[in-house]
Structure 1
Amino acid sequence: MTAENTAPPAPQGGPVARTASAATVGLGMPALRPPADGAFDGHHPPDAALVGDCVHCGFCLPTCPTYVLWGEEMDSPRGRVDIIKGGLEGDAFDASSVRHLDQCLGCMSCVTACPSGVQYDKLIEATRAQLERRVERPRAQRLLRSAIYGLFPYPRRLRALRGPLRAYQAGRLGRLLARTGLLRKLPAGLRAMESLAPRLGPVPDIPAHTPAAGTKRATVGLLTGCVQGAFFPDVNAATVRVLAAEGCDVVVPRRQSCCGALSAHGGREPEALAFAKQVIETFEAADVDTIVVNAAGCGSNLKEYGHQLRDEPGWAARAEALATKVRDVAELLDELGPVAERHPLPVTVAYQDACHLAHAQGVRDQPRRLLRGVPGVELREIAEPELCCGSAGTYNLLHPEPAAELGERKARAVLATGAELMVTANPGCWMQVSATLARLGERIAVAHTVQILDASLRGVPADQLLARALDGPGTSTAPARPRNSATPGSPA
């Protein structure tokens, strides 16, 4: 069988959307108004040379989440490259073309699979910036996007949301809304936000400077992140403890801004560049050897600053210099090698590859080596590790139906390992899989890679780690549903 004729693997999750268009009809996608004067303007259009690298071999097809769901050629990387090529050759986009491009998760699995080295990540990001400027979207979709991008890239706004959200989670309002059916009447994107919100706990105090334990090996600065800092502050605290134990002076600059990842992936170029410049100024002032990131999407974006600010006067060289300093926390710890004593932690772990760590940054072996270095940890691999869980930044809010199908596929793959604990490296993956498991009537403990290392270094008993990872801060608050309940996007 040739690569072009390779059929998508049989779904492991629930029923998929019957067609690609059905997946987004709730957001009013058919009412899009593409630009009438051609697909692209003259500001950073997709690079025709990169388009020409695609030889249509089809190796990307079985790794593309939307192609796996629907089997539609135009919902594959190869099909989307053809749409972009047509736009560069003068074709005007219609609503269908925009929909196919919008439905890409940007997971970069195709970049890993491609034997020709097609830089699809550069192509889709340039295209999305064009769409954001030039496509008139329906009012409901504009409002949803304004709400998403007016909240999540702003740490102060997210921190201000913590109080009301904790009150909502602790009270009976959520259960009342679910019982009366009012939640089901909310727009799909808002329902997704409500179901994904993790359980909140106290915010640990993280010093601006934590000295290295023993001999200093490096001075590092920690990017605290927006969602990570507001909803998963325990991960940041664990990151600081582990880095200090491994000989790092840790600097945590105050008043950090968003890194711009969500904005860049959503095509909001001016906003993304403004955020990037703030981050550059912040960490230049911190004067550190390395910038450590513990959220995969943020790390992959920081490493692209040189490209993003390539023609910004006075910023291009500074952006490239910062990008060379960026390391995921697992990447840095693997480079340094262990010096702190690991205590036994007998637990079975299913490691879930975050797309923007494995595909965008090429960091796959390092977290696995770190986990295997903990005495007692048994590492189990998840089937279809290359497929996205459906979180993909804001994708599960803008396209909740296909995101739910992908989430169920990933959740069932995690359950099939029989592991006690799922470990991941991105808050979006954490929320997506946890909420999906709850919807399936299942529970599994979830933690970040660095939290496993932290527990081992501090000698935390395995049962305490598992209990906190199952019911503590960061865990899903979504009510468990009977297993035969319909999933979002499936027939009732």
Structure 2
Amino acid sequence: MVLEGPFVDPGLVSDCVHCGFCLPTCPTYVLWGEEMDSPRGRIQLMRQRLEGEPLTPSAAGHFDACLGCMACVTACPSGVRYDTLIEQTRVAVEREHPRPLPERALRGLVFGLFPHPRRLALVKRPLGLYQRLGSPLLSRLPGRLAALAALAPPVRRSVPLPALVPALGPRRAVVGMLTGCVQREFFPSVNAATARVLAAEGCDVVIPPSQGCCGALSVHSGRHAEAADFARGIVDTFASAGIDALVVNAAGCGSSLKSLGELLADDPAYAPRAAALAARVTDFSELLADLGPAAPRHPLPLTVAYHDACHLAHAQGVRSQPRTLLRGIPGLDLREIPDAEICCGSAGVYNILNPAPAADLAALKARNVLSTGADWLVTANPGCLMQITAGLRTTGATIRTAHTAQVLDASIRGVRLNPDPA
């Protein structure tokens, strides 16, 4: 929701007592040790803006450098709503801060492509050709485009899911399933595994083929009007679909959808339906934990390190459920990652807009993952999968990566875990 009057809520700014508990959990403070690149430092910049100081390019740069990972929200003993503050601030930055032409062009490319699955589908063929030609082309691309190309997972053919995947055995729930944008086009096997697991656990899975972007990338980047337009499309698609829950298998999308009511609160035509739908949004692991297992699990002799996606753990508070699901698989050895609260550097499109610090965070996360001795890295967000895979690739490590849904799918079906079927 866009504020009428001050660019952020003054009451939320005053909640910060500058205790510093947020500092060791903030990725940019960990990297640089600069006060203005910590949550309390950015809140001080917000306070100065409220007191009448202009939004300078320097201040805008400190706000842009924030990953929006929300680790500080978890760490804060005073309950400061930094998530709301940085979201409100980014709306003001987009409105007031004139960006250089190259920056505007890059952001235009990113937001003209990533929230549009059909456009993403069109770039898969040239991207696949680029991947087959290999690294010689990489050195010829501009820095940020090279970073983007290096992050892309191997191109796989997307097979559309049916509009309804019926429950196997007695029906326990009717759920809608968000297919996403990047998830749909670059991780189709994750969506297929999600649908199979939900059906195996007794859910009728409703998958409207017309669904579009949920608006998460836009809302996390201060593009409020654009995010609201995408959100209205999701409400139109799912609000009257006769579902008990809307299941999401991408952490950033789930975080945004749970705030649908706030995003559309000022739209009288959508506000009631948006709030009602938001109350039914649930992460894949949340729903399965609530239902309890119905399908038998077959052994998977794997050693797994589980990575908490920031918008699942910090923004949604979902930590125990995926671990419970993984520990319920016979033969699976689950290991914790040191400094787990530090973001991997993906943060929506942060790793494209800020590739250098994102790469540093990916390298830090890769070292911590490898220290567990696990054979697999498992997480619940496509951005994290791409980012950590890229970080691990630079180390030459052979550890493989998968989504939580893919691990459960392999166990339920009694097959070898293969997250990248040809």
Deviation at 1:176, TM superposition (A): 3.0
Deviations 1:23-54 (A, max 9, x none): xxxxxxxxxxxxxxxxx994672111111111
> What corresponds to 1:152 in structure 2?
114
Range that drifts further, 308-317 or 66-75: 308-317
> What corresponds to 1:326 in structure 2?
281
> What corresponds to 1:383 in structure 2?
338
Are 1:371 and 2:326 matched, yes or no? Answer: yes
Deviation at 1:225, TM superposition (A): 0.2
Contact 1:200 1:473 in 2 (8 A): no
Are 1:61 and 2:23 matched, yes or no? Answer: yes
Contact 1:232 1:473 in 2 (8 A): no
Which secondary structure does the structure 1 equivalent of 2:55 belong to? coil
Q: In structure 1, which of residues 162, 176, 180 is the aligned counterpart of residue 136 of structure 2?
A: 176
Query: What does 1:38-437 correspond to in 2, within 5 Å?
Result: 42=4, 45-170=7-132, 172=133, 174-178=134-138, 181-183=139-141, 186=142, 188-437=143-392
Letter in 2 for 1:221: G
Letter in 2 for 1:304: S
Contact 2:55 2:96 in 1 (8 A): no
> What corresponds to 1:3 in structure 2?
none
Contact 1:434 1:443 in 2 (8 A): no
Deviations 1:375-408 (A, max 9, x none): 0010000001100000000100000000000000
Contact 1:50 1:119 in 2 (8 A): yes
Letter in 1 for 2:342: L
Measured at CA, do residues 41 and 135 of structure 1 come closer, stay the same or move farther in structure 2, by a change above 3 Å? farther
Contact 2:176 2:206 in 1 (8 A): yes
Cα RMSD, aligned residues only: 1.4
Range that drifts further, 127-136 or 440-449: 440-449
Which secondary structure does the structure 2 equivalent of 1:285 belong to? coil
Measured at CA, do residues 300 and 135 of structure 1 come closer, stay the same or move farther in structure 2, by a change above 3 Å? same
Deviation at 1:435, TM superposition (A): 1.0
- Count of equivalent residues: 421
Which secondary structure does the structure 2 equivalent of 1:423 belong to? strand
Deviation at 1:160, TM superposition (A): 1.5
- Normalising by structure 2, report the TM-score: 0.97
- Normalising by structure 1, report the TM-score: 0.84
Q: Which runs of 5+ in 2 are unaligned?
A: none
Distance 1:446 1:337 in 2: 25
Distance 1:192 1:473 in 2: 25
Deviations 1:84-137 (A, max 9, x none): 111112111222111111100000000000111111010000100111011100
Distance 1:52 1:316 in 2: 29
> If you compute each CA radius of gyration, which structure gives the higher value, 1 or 2?
1
Distance 1:306 1:285 in 2: 16
Distance 1:204 1:315 in 2: 32
Paired-residue identity, %: 60
Distance 1:299 1:265 in 2: 12
Contact 2:159 2:188 in 1 (8 A): yes
Distance 2:291 2:343 in 1: 29
Deviations 1:319-367 (A, max 9, x none): 1111000000001000000010000111000000000000000000000
Which secondary structure does the structure 2 equivalent of 1:253 belong to? coil
Measured at CA, do residues 253 and 381 of structure 1 come closer, stay the same or move farther in structure 2, by a change above 3 Å? same
Q: Which runs of 5+ in 1 are unaligned?
A: 1-39, 475-492
